[in-house]
Chain A
Amino acid sequence: MRTEEYATSLTYLADPKYIGRYLAPGSKETLLERVSLLRSQRRKGHFEWQVSIPRESPLTFKENSDRLQADVTGIIEGEGDEVKEVRTLLRIWSLDEALCYRAGIDAEQVKSKFAETGQRVMVRFHFERRAKHVTSLEPIYHLQVGGVALENENCWFPKQLDIPRFHFPPMDIVLLCELVLVNLFHKSSRNLREKPEWKKLVVKSQDAFQGSYFSKFYSYVNSTTDTILGNLIS
């Protein structure tokens, strides 16, 4: 995907006609700021480009009817038209105390911290590419549940427990937004998800970020020499 094309996709994504109306205040601006940064790299003639949404300033969705709130962060890097790296994180926060703290089971600190912030990360998903230095067996593109949480997330997963790593296609910002809409706003986003323009936006990201993954994946499905996972970790 060309950088300009991706910048345009992200600009449309931020529009109230698309996910803009599902975003928490300030998030639309975060996204547009990142688009502007992406475009400025192109203007400067950089061959390498990057879009990053830092955890300190995530793309945050509004709270849904179950008092759950999703946010998306990550880094996407490319060289020219080629996507080189996709590392994204989806966090699901709860704003419901009953869900965040179990009296008599969880530590009081969890409760007091929730009282301070009013939210807690309940589950987090890393969509990553295998790092270059990694020697352990893991699929090139994978999903890891958990990971290292920030202090304000009020959540803890043992650092040592970084498995399992499921083979999973790369998920860019657009694809993660679709995932959030389907899971957290499935009724209210129905009209949006029906729109041909929205489908086009998602399909563009599918093509750019998942096309080669699925081509390889399907070639492994019929492989007689190794399993799908065996192929993906080799």
Chain B
Amino acid sequence: MEISVIYIDDVSQELQKYEAKFTTDPRAMGRFTIKTFNSPKLPADYDHINEADPELLLVDFNLDIPDESGQVIGISGVTLSTELRQKFREVPIVLFTRKSVFNIQDYTRIRETLSSIDEIVYKQEVFKTDSTILADLHKLATGYRTLRNQTNRSWNDLLKLLGASQSDSELLEQSNPPVVHRQRWTAASVASWIRDIVLRFPGILYDALHAATLLGVSKDIFLSENVQNAFAPAKYTGIFAPTEGCWWKSKLQTVAYSIMNKKERELPLRHGFPAAWERSKGNSIDRAKCVFSGESPADWVCHILKEPVMIKYSLSYNADDRPTVMDEARVSFEAIRTSNDFDEKLVDPLGRDLIADIRKMSKPVE
């Protein structure tokens, strides 16, 4: 499924360079057809872009070089993206820039605040051999294409696209979807909701680490072939499904309970499932281990260290504006003691009172 890409930059060498990359890179071949444009200055320029029928717009950040006729657009790629969004409401827009030029610190939370930008991609990333950027861009564009092609745009149509069950639908409804009852949705708003809320925050869908911790096992065990086969029905295969995979929390529970016997089902899932797996397979498996105490099975994931943690060794952390239906962000005592990323201001006053003691306390003995 080839995607028609438009790349906008005011440096002709850059246009040539990335046109070649998107044409010849084995990871791009068969996925993209690319057309390049200098930054649009006149209404006719936008018409030319429109005529190219774009399915993915890549916009350079730095647009201060004059074109052949000496004209300069005079705005940055960020500003241009808002203009493009007005004209291309159903097409993903990616800020495609150099890390050295685009100082992300100057644009804190730009993706959350600026609805015109779907993604920020650093140009250098495209050249890295282990990069999945090209695959991710393709996934973004095909997701948009699916949304664009939907003629029926009710809430229920959207739920079908996600493959949500009844119980998940109720949770999704509480996660600030951009769809009001009986109202039709737009591709950009729905794409932003799915990617920036549903897929970003754990609660309804889980990445491998959260899924493993829910089940009380280590991430390696969860990603092992046998376990993956068992939990294949829980995998999210809907629109914008991430390359690294994610799973419906409700379906993980359903599959796990189907393996557990009556006695195991009486236990918390993170205790019952590993016991059930060991009973049915006859070999022991690693549990989710608390990053602070080493106890297992841990029951939460540290927001900063991205490691399992016991709730009792963590504090609530107001790191973002996630809907309350999502799992609470919590920070481990380990991160509080060791991580430079820990920001005391993001802890509730109730928890803040405990920080000095947490820093002084000796670690529990395993």
Is the A/B pair a real complex? Answer: yes
Does any Cβ of B come within 8 Å of A29's Cβ?
no
Interface residues of B in 298-355 (CB under 8 A from A): 299, 310-316, 324, 328, 348-351, 353-354
Q: Is the CB of A197 within 8 A of B311?
A: no
Does any Cβ of B come within 8 Å of A55's Cβ?
no
A-B pair count, CB < 8 Å, reads: 35
CA distance A135 to B299 in the complex (A): 53
Q: Which of A17, A195, A200 contacts B353 (CB 8 A)?
A: A200
In the complex, the chain A residue whose C-beta lies closest to that of B299 is A191
Q: Is the CB of A195 within 8 A of B312?
A: yes
Which size class do B's interface residues fall under? 10 to 19
Chain A: interface residue total (CB-CB under 8 A): 12
Q: Is the CB of B268 within 8 A of A200?
A: no
Q: Is the CB of B350 within 8 A of A200?
A: yes
Give the chain B neighbours of A197 by CB distance below 8 A: 315-316, 348, 350-351, 354
Give the chain A neighbours of B350 by CB distance below 8 A: 12, 197, 200-201
Interface residues of B in 234-283 (CB under 8 A from A): 268
CA distance A17 to B318 in the complex (A): 11
Q: Which of A17, A190, A194 contacts B328 (CB 8 A)?
A: A17
In the complex, the chain B residue whose C-beta lies closest to that of A194 is B311
Closest chain B CB from A178 CB (angstroms): 15
Q: Is the CB of A195 within 8 A of B311?
A: yes
In the complex, the chain A residue whose C-beta lies closest to that of B357 is A196
Give the chain A neighbours of B324 by CB distance below 8 A: 16
Most B Cβ at <10 Å: residue of A16, A17, A190, A197: A197
Does any Cβ of B come within 8 Å of A183's Cβ?
no
Closest chain B CB from A12 CB (angstroms): 6
Closest chain A CB from B257 CB (angstroms): 15
In the complex, the chain A residue whose C-beta lies closest to that of B350 is A197
Contact with B along A1-27 (1 / 0, CB 8 A): 000000010001000110000000000
Q: Is the CB of A195 within 8 A of B268?
A: no
CA distance A191 to B298 in the complex (A): 12
Q: Is the CB of A196 within 8 A of B312?
A: yes
CA distance A8 to B351 in the complex (A): 13
Most B Cβ at <10 Å: residue of A17, A195, A200, A201: A195
Closest chain B CB from A35 CB (angstroms): 14
Most A Cβ at <10 Å: residue of B311, B314, B351: B311
CA distance A195 to B349 in the complex (A): 14
In the complex, the chain B residue whose C-beta lies closest to that of A15 is B348
Interface residues of A in 193-218 (CB under 8 A from B): 194-197, 200-201
Known contacts A8-B349, A17-B328: A200-B311 contact under CB 8 Å: no
Give the chain B neighbours of A195 by CB distance below 8 A: 311-312, 314-316
Further contacts, 15 of them, CB under 8 A, given A194-B312, A200-B351: A8-B349, A190-B268, A194-B299, A194-B310, A194-B311, A195-B311, A195-B312, A195-B314, A195-B315, A196-B315, A196-B351, A196-B354, A197-B348, A197-B354, A200-B350
Q: List 12 A-B contacts (CB under 8 A).
A: A12-B350, A16-B324, A194-B311, A194-B312, A195-B311, A195-B312, A196-B312, A196-B313, A196-B351, A197-B316, A197-B354, A200-B351
Query: Closest 8 interchain pairs by CB?
Result: A194-B311, A197-B350, A197-B351, A194-B312, A16-B324, A200-B350, A12-B350, A191-B311
